[in-house]
Structure 1
Amino acid sequence: METAVVVTKSSPVVVVPSESEQTTTPPAGHTIPLSSFDLLMPPLPMRLVLAFDRPIHEPVETIKRALSRALDHYQPVAGRLNGQGGITCTGEGVAFVAASAGCALGEAMATLQQMDLTARFPGAFCRDADPLVLVQVTEFSCGGFVVGVTWNHLLADGAGIGQFLCAVGELARGASPPSVEPVRQWDDALRDLPTTSVIAQRSTVLDKNRPRYLVRHDVAVPLSLVCRIKGESGCTAFEAVAAVIWRCRARAVGCSADSPAPLYFACNMRALVGASAGYYGNCVVGQVVPATSGAVARSSIADLALLIRRAKENVLDLLSSSSSDGEAAAPDGGGAQGGAQAAPPQWYDGLAMTSWVNLGLDSADFGGGGAARVMWHEDRTFLPCCMVCSPCRGDAFNVSSLCVKPEHANAFLRELANLISHDGLA
């Protein structure tokens, strides 16, 4: 077993807006009310790692300066939650940590998940007084570096944080202002989620007590396999990857055939609700594909991918208070509604899938080009879940997985290996 490289960290410092940029952002003291999409999200820490194998000049100082300038344009990011359903532009800033690792990045690439590459909030949930963003820049002996970002999910979703990091990168490369004008205020003319949907989805996490420790896997789903699935079903890459993980997990866990095995996945609603091009707050909802373990285990990958696609096509129903909250046909054709199965799902029954593909995360460029690797940097989770990341300079989609208990880990890896090596799509 490979040993993780020791990372040496400096004490955190606070980075505040530089006040050197000409902007039209909200003034100090202005409050941005949280939207119904923001309120879907409990104040959960999200942790992202971007690995850059092409050196830049003084990455710590370069990114720190650019971050300060970016906060001029993104004043709410430097603010704090006010405890009354909003973010106040206090200008208190974000936390920044400089770090170093005593090896080359290439030597550590396989063990990045085991390394201390992100700053952490004190608890399982973020507090109102905490900064909304924590940034850590770790330099490696080869000149490569890693940018670790931890943020309060109430501030932004993956697309929003990707936009912010791309702006930091543009400023680091000498451009000003950022090419995308940021928008954080939710337009009253845009469609809101029904209150019942907000309460139901938010309680999904809040009711799960403390995070569980599941086995960490970094799975590579080959592009060749994804292309074959897409060719057979006409699905997207995410739908193909999600179908692969869903079936492999169902077979590995081996629950009784009639046990619930729902798939939960996040849908970006920006194009569907008319959000501004530069909107960087939350704009995703969770959709569910209800199913039984037996139905998932015996279905073809193509059929599961099509099932996910049909659920995605019905996501607009979630904007209606009279909707059936994510109804989708089950693999056995039952059309069972989420929560209407014979037994209510327990925390380990379901699988949550999120995609960080096409969100701009791999496009953040601080001077040496885009990221060589994008990773979800978690070791605990409330529900079994996976994050699909872009195939940066590679021939596979990278899936950061926390979805099985130790006793199911070997079986899960065997199912994946068999599917990949034997083209077991049926």
Structure 2
Amino acid sequence: MVSIVVSKSSPVVVRPSSEPVTSTGKINLSAYDFYHVGMATTAFLVFQHPIQKPAETIKWGLSRALVHYHPLSGRLLGGGGGGGEVHHISCTGNGVLFVAASANVAIEDAKLSEHDHQSLAATTTRPLLDHLAVYYPAAEAYRDSDPLVMMQVTEFSSGGFVVGVTWNHGVADGVGMGQFLQAVGELSRGLPSPSVPAVRLDDSLAVTSSNVGAVQQAYMSLQLTDNALLDFTVPSSLIGRIKDEFRRDSGGRTCTVFEAISAVLWQCRTRAVISDPKAPTGLIFPANARKYARAKDGYYGNCVTAQLVMAESGRVANGDLMELVRMIQGAKEQIPDKFSKRGSCNLEEIRALTGYDLLCVTCWRKLGFECTDFGGGVPARVMSHCQQVLALPICQITSTGKHGSCVMSGCVKDDHAHAFLAELARIN
């Protein structure tokens, strides 16, 4: 096995290159933002095609992008490590933390683009990902002085590079961060301005009739689970087979890649961990709510609602995959109701579960990360990583290639990992 060494330069602070396009001294957090404060999220964009001086080029584009995304160079104030509540973004222009790094191997040797059905993370990927980004201190509460965004560009000996971005989820969701990185890419390539105007202040956002804060608090109160990190691919052949069968069974109605993969993951995981077929199990997934919340075009703050599907474990483990797909579709169809008087927040159902009874599936395939181009084309793969112990077992569908859709998962404990992967292999 090749020994991979990542050498990092000293961190620098990148500030807006000029006066911001729009400047607001203080931005209050919305109900969508508030309960994500301090939740660290990290995305990796893997680029196989080289560009000239990637770290310098991207740092220049980042400085220019912060002119348009000025709040991301600010700080959260109103609490943090002092134990109070964080109330607003202070647009201080203090900057984004940036690190240039290099690896002693070709990007192909790092196996970051390898798609198979093995648990790469346990032996290779996870330790490497720990070195390809800058992370917040895991043991500490979020501090007022912490940057909202941290970026690392790691150049590999072959010319490929990886951009690792860690951000405080309280200031942007995945769609928002994907939009920001696309802007960094456009400005790194020399475009005069981002193609999508940036909007962070939107007081007209409609909040769901369900109490967003109460639902989020219910999730956060779930029992924490420290799960195995797995990296695998759901094959295109399986996804295609499920979509074809669903179309036949549903009189021509179609299902999405997300719905097909979510049904597979929910069934395989339930089979691996089931102890009582009568016990409830839940599938939860976030959904972009911008259309329903009437968000302005270019809004990059949080605007996500969560959908919950519940069933008995035995029904999920032993039932028809097509039925699970229909249940997931039904939950998606209920999203508009959450913005009307008909909405409900499922609090009692959530409180009846422990953290390990729920599976969260998120989809990163169309958040915008996959469209980022710093000058050498879009990424070969998008990946994710979290160093924090999460309240929910989670699977992240990060990207799709010719072999299938890549999934990075922390959805089962070490004791259940082998059984989970065996169920995935069997269902193929």
TM over 0.5: yes
| Separation in structure 1 between the aligned mates of residue 225 and residue 192 of structure 2, nearest angstrom | 43
- Tell me which of 208, 225, 242 is aligned to 1:193: 208
What CA distance in whole angstroms lies between the structure 2 residues aligned with 1:419 and 1:206?
32
Q: CA deviation at 1:367?
A: 0.6
**1:117, distance to aligned residue in structure 2 (A):** 0.8
1:121 maps to a residue whose letter is Y
CA distance in 1: counterparts of 2:349 and 2:58, whole angstroms: 50
Give 1:273 shift: 1.9
Q: 1:112: Cα distance to partner? A: 3.7
Aligned twin of 1:207: 221
- The aligned length equals 399
Equivalent residue for 1:8?
Answer: 7
Residue 66 of structure 2 corresponds to: 71
Alignment of 1:339-350 (within 5 A): 339-340=348-349, 344-350=352-358
Which residue is 1:90 aligned to? 92
Q: Distance in 1 between matches of 2:75 and 2:216?
A: 21
Q: In the aligned structure 2, how far is the partner of 1:4 from the partner of 1:388?
A: 28
**Aligned position for 1:35:** 30
Which of 271, 275, 278 lines up with 2:295 in the alignment?
Answer: 275
Structure 2 runs not aligned, ≥5 long: 79-85, 113-123, 247-253
Contact 1:42 1:206 in 2 (8 A): no
Structure 1's unaligned 5+ residue stretches are 327-337, 421-426
- TM-score, normalising length: structure 1: 0.89
In the TM superposition, what is the alpha-carbon distance from 1:315 to its structure 2 partner? Answer: 1.6
SS in 2 for 1:318: helix
Could you tell me whether the CA contact under 8 Å between 1:15 and 1:96 is conserved in 2? yes
Deviations 1:39-78 (A, max 9, x none): 2424200011111000000011111111111100100000
d(CA) in 2 for partners of 1:81, 1:243: 38
Alpha-carbon spacing, 1:3–1:127, altered in 2? closer, same or farther (3 Å): farther
Q: Per-residue deviation at 1:144?
A: 0.5
Q: Deviations over 1:202-231 (max 9, x none)?
A: 21343247x542111112011222122222
Partner letter of residue 101 of structure 2? A
SS of the residue corresponding to residue 272 of structure 2 reads: helix
In the TM superposition, what are the counterparts of 1:174-189 in structure 2 within 5 Å?
174-188=190-204
Query: What's the CA shift for 1:260?
Result: 1.9
Contact 1:197 1:321 in 2 (8 A): no
* C-alpha separation in 2, matches of 1:405 and 1:306: 28
For 2:107, the equivalent position in structure 1 comes to: 105
1:335 is aligned to none
- 1:14-35 deviation digits (Å, cap 9, x = unpaired): 1111107xx53225xx111111
For 2:185 and 2:101, the matched residues in 1 are separated by 19
Q: Distance in 1 between matches of 2:356 and 2:147?
A: 32
> Which residue identity does 2:207 align to in structure 1?
D
Is the 8 Å Cα contact of residues 43 and 126 (structure 1) preserved in structure 2? yes
1:37 & 1:4 partners in 2: Cα distance?
A: 43
Residue in structure 2 matching 1:395, options 403, 407, 426: 403
1:175-324 correspondence to structure 2 within 5 Å:
175-188=191-204, 190-194=205-209, 197-208=211-222, 212-233=225-246, 234-320=254-340, 323-324=343-344
Structure 1 Cα separation of the partners of residues 9 and 220 of structure 2:
33
SS in 1 for 2:410: strand
Aligned-pair CA distance for 1:114:
2.6
* Superposed CA RMSD: 1.9
Moved more, 156-165 or 75-84: 75-84
| Counterpart amino acid of residue 120 in structure 1 | Y
Greater Cα offset, 100-109 or 36-45: 36-45
Is the 8 Å Cα contact of residues 221 and 391 (structure 2) preserved in structure 1? no
- Pick which of 156-165 and 356-365 moved more: 356-365
- AA aligned to 1:95 is L
Quick one: percent identity of the two aligned structures?
47
Cα distance in structure 2, aligned partners of 1:317 and 1:43: 29
Q: Deviations over 1:219-275 (max 9, x none)?
A: 201122212222232211111111111000000112211122101100111122221
Q: Separation in 1 of the partners of 2:355 and 2:33?
A: 23
TM-score, L = length of structure 2: 0.89
CA distance in 1, matches of 2:383, 2:87: 30
Separation (CA, whole Å) in 2 of partners of 1:212 and 1:257: 21
The farther-off stretch of 166-175 and 33-42 is 33-42
Residue equivalent to 1:423: none
Matched, 1:381 2:396: no
Per mean C-alpha deviation after superposition, the further-off stretch among 381-390 and 144-153 is 381-390
2:161 and 2:266 map into 1 onto residues whose CA distance is 34
**1:345-424 matches, cutoff 5 A:** 345-379=353-387, 380-392=389-401, 394-420=402-428
Deviation at 1:321, TM superposition (A): 6.2
1:296-340 C-alpha deviation (Å, 9 max, x unpaired): 1012222111111100110223334663225xxxxxxxxxxx634
**The 10-residue stretch of structure 1 (255-264 or 376-385) with the greater mean CA deviation from structure 2:** 376-385
Asked whether the 8 Å contact 2:271–2:423 carries over to 1, the reply is: yes
SS state at 1:348 partner: helix
- 8 Å contact 1:40–1:201 — kept in the other structure? no
On the 8 A contact 1:4/1:114 being kept in 2, the answer is no
Contact 1:39/1:198 (<8 A) preserved: no
2:127 equivalent to 1:114:
yes
Q: Residue in 2 aligned with 1:19?
A: 18
Compared CA separation, residues 4 and 151, structure 1 to 2 (3 A): farther
Q: Secondary structure at the match of 2:63?
A: helix
Distance 1:148 1:351 in 2: 26
CA displacement at 1:3 relative to structure 2: 6.7
Deviation at 1:295, TM superposition (A): 1.2
Alpha-carbon spacing, 1:42–1:262, altered in 2? closer, same or farther (3 Å)? farther
* C-alpha contact (below 8 Å) 2:364/2:399 kept by paired residues: yes
The alignment partner of 1:289 has SS state of strand
8 A contact 2:292–2:339 mirrored in 1: no
Shift of 1:347: 1.4
1:139 to 143, 149, 155: 155
Match of 2:201, SS state, is coil
Q: In 1, distance between residues paired with 2:403 and 2:379?
A: 15
